[in-house]
A and B are shown apart, each in its own frame.
Chain A
Amino acid sequence: MATHAVVIDGLCKKFPSPNGRGEFTVIDSLSLQIACGSFASIVGPSGCGKSTLLNIIAGIEPRDAGEVRVQSQDGADSGARIGYVFQSPRLLNWLTVEDNIKFALEAQNIGRSSWNERVTKYLHMVGLAGQERNFPLKLSGGMQQRVAIARALAIEPDILLMDEPFSHLDEITARKMRVDLMQILEHARPTILFVTHSLREAVFLSEEVYMMSVKPARIFKHLRVDIPRPREPEDPRLFDLEKGLVKEFFAVLEQDFR
């Protein structure tokens, strides 16, 4: 058994400057280890490089320096399955809900014989049983994001990357989705790396919270949330944690912007 699902060591990422001259550093020697089976959140302000970090882990963006290792549960370095839930659903609107999930299954070389069973299982898990034949644009934004979650879970990933998956939804829908996500994860338990700008969301959902500062991105605080699940969104202990983190956050941000 591998102990860590993700190991990041000295990661650097630069982007060309918007004015066309030179480059600026988005991520500077960032190191991070995510334990197998844990739910870890990275919290940081918008534009701090959180999404870039997830894209590098997913292998859709190159890195400039450092190591990124994603390991499967059995410790193999290669062939770890990565599920990704993006900010927007990013569904293929011309395919039915069912075929959107099968797209991911085909991409991951998962045997055809298990497709139907997985589609049914994970659609049921996200509360969309019976929507197999529907087209995504006939669904609400929240339902579309549920399809995206089902798609990512259906490949039974070793690690699930989630990039502010509820930030495009209205607060009531988002709140319901968070509670539902907790329930879903009682049945399917991949390692989760969740990125958000909301401290409240992070402390409610996760076991580990990493706080990230801007320009360049670095982790300046790690916190364990030891409150047992299921948690109540209104749990005063969560509020206390959040308050403490907000204070620290602003202390660091002020330093950064000085």
Chain B
Amino acid sequence: MNRQTGLRWLSVLSFVAVWWLGSLVSSPEILPGPLVIGRTILTNFTTTTGPEEKSAAFHVAITLARILFSFSVAMILGIAVGLAIGLRRKVELAFGYLISLALTIPTLLAVFLCVIWFGFSEAGGLFAVILTVTPFVAVNMIAGAKALDKELIDMAHAFNARRGLLVRKVLVWQLMPYIFSAFRYAFGMTWKIVALAESFGLKYGIGYMFTFWFEQFNMAQVMAWVMLFVAIMLVIEHGVIARFEAKIFAWRPAHAV
């Protein structure tokens, strides 16, 4: 373990320590300690207590599937729209303002609107994500398209590179930093919106369980589900995305992830 990872673990450990100290001075109905929460999470996975008689693994899988699906749709749409706007002046004139408009919609309102339009259905959650996440991805891709290095494109043309080669070896790599920053941001937004939609009315999922226990005033369960959610998202962001990023950007001399 190097110094940097050591420091990261230290910050996580000190958070748990503060939490534990807090739980000592307050009642378990207000702030249950880390041990209680850890045990609750374990029990949730091994038994099928709770409103729908499903184990935690089921709810986690449902939430992850919702996140993954709506996130992929929003990413693909955002990249396509962003590149079209960034590369074509006419498309920019036609749709540029719509993107700015969409960016101003508060996330919470988007979720409300989609619940009104689609009811408490999967489509509602999906459209809330598309409505709020797509414009952010698009804005990043517009910036990426505008920053493409004309000198490198000229170089490729001077060597007679065909379109496919140009896209694969010259353009995609230049867009990569923009795709990644969009990716991170979009992922963060998506899981928050999905959790919100689940607590509003979607059946099953981590957010659903969170609301259920909240209405029962069961603080240990509420915190167990929040902590589980946070832990999963942290692992995905830092374990999966960051590792992938480090590999892709190995060519940069001092890339700080």
Give complex CA distance A107, B157 in Å. Answer: 9
Instruction: Enumerate B136-182 residues with CB–CB distance to A below 8 Å.
Output: 151-152, 154-162, 165, 169-170, 173, 176
B251 at the interface (CB under 8 A from A): yes
B253 at the interface (CB under 8 A from A): yes
A selection of 15 A-B contacts at a CB cut-off of 8 Å is A55-B158, A84-B158, A92-B169, A92-B170, A94-B173, A95-B169, A95-B173, A103-B156, A103-B159, A103-B165, A103-B169, A108-B160, A135-B253, A137-B251, A161-B158
A138 at the interface (CB under 8 A from B): yes
Q: Which of A86, A94, A135 contacts B151 (CB 8 A)?
A: A86
Give complex CA distance A137, B249 in Å. Answer: 12
Q: Which of A59, A88, A155 contacts B157 (CB 8 A)?
A: A59
Most chain-B Cβ atoms within 10 A of its Cβ — which of A58, A93, A94, A104?
A94
Interface of B is mostly: helix
Residue of B nearest to A58 (CB): B158
A60 & B157 in contact (Cβ 8 Å cutoff) = yes
Give complex CA distance A10, B6 in Å. Answer: 70
Q: Which of A55, A86, A94, A103 contacts B161 (CB 8 A)?
A: A103
Q: Which of A55, A104, A106, A161 contacts B154 (CB 8 A)?
A: A55
B3 at the interface (CB under 8 A from A): no
Knowing A88-B151, A90-B151, A95-B169, say if A107 contacts B252 (CB, 8 Å).
no
A86 & B155 in contact (Cβ 8 Å cutoff) = yes
Write the nearest CB–CB distance from B175 to chain A, whole angstroms. 11
A238 at the interface (CB under 8 A from B): no
Question: Which chain A residues lie closer than 8 Å to B160 at the CB level?
Answer: 107-108
Instruction: Enumerate B202-257 residues with CB–CB distance to A below 8 Å.
Output: 250-253
Question: Which chain B residues lie closer than 8 Å to A155 at the CB level?
Answer: 159
A84 & B159 in contact (Cβ 8 Å cutoff) = yes
A82 at the interface (CB under 8 A from B): yes
Write the nearest CB–CB distance from A154 to chain B, whole angstroms. 10
Residue of B nearest to A157 (CB): B159
Write the nearest CB–CB distance from B113 to chain A, whole angstroms. 41
Give complex CA distance A84, B156 in Å. Answer: 10
Knowing A92-B170, A94-B251, A137-B251, say if A107 contacts B152 (CB, 8 Å).
no
Give complex CA distance A96, B39 in Å. Answer: 50
B161 & A60 in contact (Cβ 8 Å cutoff) = no
Question: Which chain B residues lie closer than 8 Å to A137 at the CB level?
Answer: 251-253
Write the nearest CB–CB distance from A114 to chain B, whole angstroms. 16
Q: What 5 pairs across the A-B complex have the smallest Cβ distances?
A: A107-B161, A107-B159, A84-B158, A90-B155, A94-B173
Question: Which chain A residues lie closer than 8 Å to B165 at the CB level?
Answer: 103, 106-107
